[in-house]
Chain A
């Protein structure tokens, strides 16, 4: 969320309405799971969740593990089923595994790395942090540095690094009357695939996402909803 204060809304302080015991370790964890689910495009069949810092130290007592899995199932942080997320995940056929990881000294103490695989073979590696009070940040997707808050509907694309492509995406957005709040393009090196995140002021219509996918050179495009 380029340059904006992370706590810009009154509801980031009074809220979320959530299942306890911890806004950072439970609500934030559920929201990160929900973002990972949206990026993958559905419920994973395999999930590896590596916990960093305070998530690793105190996660079990805070229900962080259940909350992350609840998010992967699409449950919101205020959903009463969060408590029984493991049972629901078993029913949904998710095979999951928790581990611990040290992502480095500069990474926020409440962080997690998801390594997910969907039934259609789609794979996702995502790193995210829970900042406190339920606010979250995705900091890396498939190894690309990103900065996504989930406070805005977000479009995430992987595409060939060719001139004009980014303009085509923004032309599409204006055709659907979607205003861009923040935009960020990253690539590993020149000519490699580029990675774009675009936070919008309004919800992204499904037709817009379909049209984005049809742009020549587009590898993938996903819409993240605004988090509850």
Chain B
């Protein structure tokens, strides 16, 4: 038995889970306990606090439009929540609304939980909220799903990156959607290898996604992107549950992500020097933004 529950790759992670017939969330939980700082109940309690904060940020963002730093998005979460679904259903639009709401909170310097980053903080809470509605499960199941998501995120963070400045938006929104896809699949009862296929399907289809936020604000494209990729995560999870497998194994998808991130031009990695940031409208926003070297106290 591997007492440290250490995993460097998705293959390691699945092997650990299969060896003891436990979930990915349970592997993550045992790994965290093995680090020696917190016992099992403390880890669960700390994760419960994070879920509570996530729920709070969804509520805050839905209750009132948030004043974002750049003022480039206003009340999108509320608009979505008030919209009667035409092409999908109320849970799907609820997921979109919550992803928008959390990200607007984040852009307005309100409290959120990075998952794995603030720019991508809407995807996981919104997705897990949606899965909880559909599956009718307790908060404890969501807490285990968050642990599963963390395990998947750790591998991607350590083998590639979760920094938009290093790997573009696939490292933030892509990783977040991949975490959500795997976690939702596991919540729905998928075995570990299927959950990892869900993760791989989600990540694979964000490869190449650049980070080109307008004016340097985490608003455009970030806020709306959270809603769109929350649904992307659901698609990946649903496909895995249908028996569809990622042709490229998860660890190889992560290796490709690393290679693409390294090759991505710097101007498309959170420097706001290209892409959407340097469109006509992007440059207009840029011209009126504050600059750090002009701030002095």
- What is A's interface to B at a CB cutoff of 8 Å? 5-27, 51, 53-65, 69, 78, 80, 82-83, 86, 89-90, 94-100, 108-110, 131-134, 201
Q: Are A109 and B216 also in contact (CB < 8 A) when A10-B43, A78-B111 are?
A: no
Contact B109 A19 (CB under 8 A): yes
Give the interface segment out of B143-151, B227-235, B248-256: B143-151
Q: Does B77 contact A (CB under 8 A)?
A: no
Most buried by A among B43, B111, B172: B111
Specify the chain B residue showing the minimal Cβ separation from A10. Answer: B150
Give me 22 A-to-B residue pairs in the complex whose CB atoms sit less than 8 angstroms apart, sorted by A's number.
A6-B157, A8-B154, A10-B43, A13-B115, A13-B150, A14-B50, A14-B115, A15-B50, A17-B49, A18-B112, A19-B112, A20-B108, A20-B112, A21-B218, A24-B164, A57-B271, A58-B216, A61-B216, A61-B289, A62-B217, A78-B111, A94-B297
Q: Do A10 and B117 form a contact, CB below 8 Å, given A61-B216, A61-B217, A132-B166?
A: no
Contact B106 A59 (CB under 8 A): no
Complex Cα distance, B114 from A100, in Å, reads: 27
Closest residue of chain A to B291, judged by CB?
A: A60
Nearest 3 CB-CB pairings of A with B:
A132-B163, A20-B106, A58-B216
Please tell me if the beta carbons of A27 and B114 are within 8 angstroms of each other in the complex.
yes
Q: Which residue of B lies closest to A181 (CB)?
A: B36
Q: Which residues, 126 to 163 on B, are CB-close (under 8 Å) to A?
A: 146-147, 149-151, 153-154, 157-158, 161-163
Is the pair A54, B157 in contact by a Cβ cutoff of 8 Å? no
A22 & B119 in contact (Cβ 8 Å cutoff)? yes
Complex Cα distance, B292 from A97, in Å, reads 9
A222 to B53, CA, bound (A): 34
Are the C-beta atoms of A22 and B218 separated by less than 8 Å?
A: yes
A12→B273 CA distance, assembly (Å)? 29
State how many angstroms separate the Cβ of B152 from the closest Cβ of chain A.
Answer: 8
Q: Which residues of B contact A65 (CB under 8 A)?
A: 292, 295
B289 cross-chain contacts in A, Cβ below 8 A: 60-61
Cβ of B290 under 8 Å from chain A: yes
Knowing A18-B112, A20-B121, A133-B117 touch, does A13 contact B50 (C-beta < 8 A)? no
Task: Using known A-B contacts A57-B216, A58-B216, A132-B162, determine if residue A14 contacts B146 with beta carbons closer than 8 Å.
Answer: yes
B215 at the A interface (CB under 8 A): yes
Task: Let me know if B296 is at the binding interface, CB within 8 A.
Answer: yes
Interface residues on B, range: 35 or more
- What's the Cα separation between A83 and B295 when bound, in Å? 15
Q: Which residues of A contact B164 (CB under 8 A)?
A: 24, 132
Which B residues touch A16, using CB under 8 A?
Answer: 113-114
| 8 A Cβ contacts from B236-287 to A | 266, 269-273
Given A10-B151, A54-B271, A63-B109, 16 more A-B residue pairs with CB atoms under 8 Å apart are A7-B162, A8-B154, A12-B157, A14-B47, A15-B50, A18-B112, A18-B118, A20-B112, A56-B292, A61-B69, A61-B217, A100-B293, A109-B166, A132-B171, A133-B157, A201-B36
- Cα of A97 to Cα of B109 in the assembled complex, Å: 22
A19 CA / B218 CA spacing, docked (Å): 13
Smallest beta-carbon distance B141→chain A, Å: 15
Determine the distance from Cα of A12 to Cα of B115 in the docked complex, in whole angstroms: 9
List the B side residues contacting A60 at CB < 8 Å: 216, 289-292, 295
The CA of A200 and the CA of B110, in the complex, are separated in Å by 33
Alpha-carbon separation in the docked complex, A80 to B112 (Å): 11
| Minimal beta-carbon separation of A187 from chain B (angstroms) | 31
Interface 1/0 per residue, B99-113 and A, CB below 8 Å: 000000111111111
- Please indicate the chain A residues that have their CB under 8 angstroms from the CB of B46 in the complex: 11
B171: chain A residues at CB < 8 Å are: 132
Across-interface contacts of A201 in B (CB, < 8 A): 36
Chain B residues with CB below 8 A from A10, complex form: 28-29, 31-32, 43, 47, 147, 150-151, 154
The residue in A53, A58, A65, A80 that gathers the most chain B C-beta atoms within 10 A of its C-beta is: A58
Are A23 and B269 neighbours in the complex by a CB distance under 8 Å? no
Residue in contact with B118 in the complex, picked from A27, A82, A94, CB distance below 8 Å: A27
The answer to whether B75 has its CB under 8 Å from any CB of chain A is no
Interchain CA distance A25-B29 in the complex, whole Å: 29
B89 to chain A, nearest CB (A): 28
Complexed CA–CA distance, A176 and B115 (Å): 37
Across-interface contacts of A108 in B (CB, < 8 A): 165-166
Q: Who on chain B is nearest to A86 by CB? A: B297
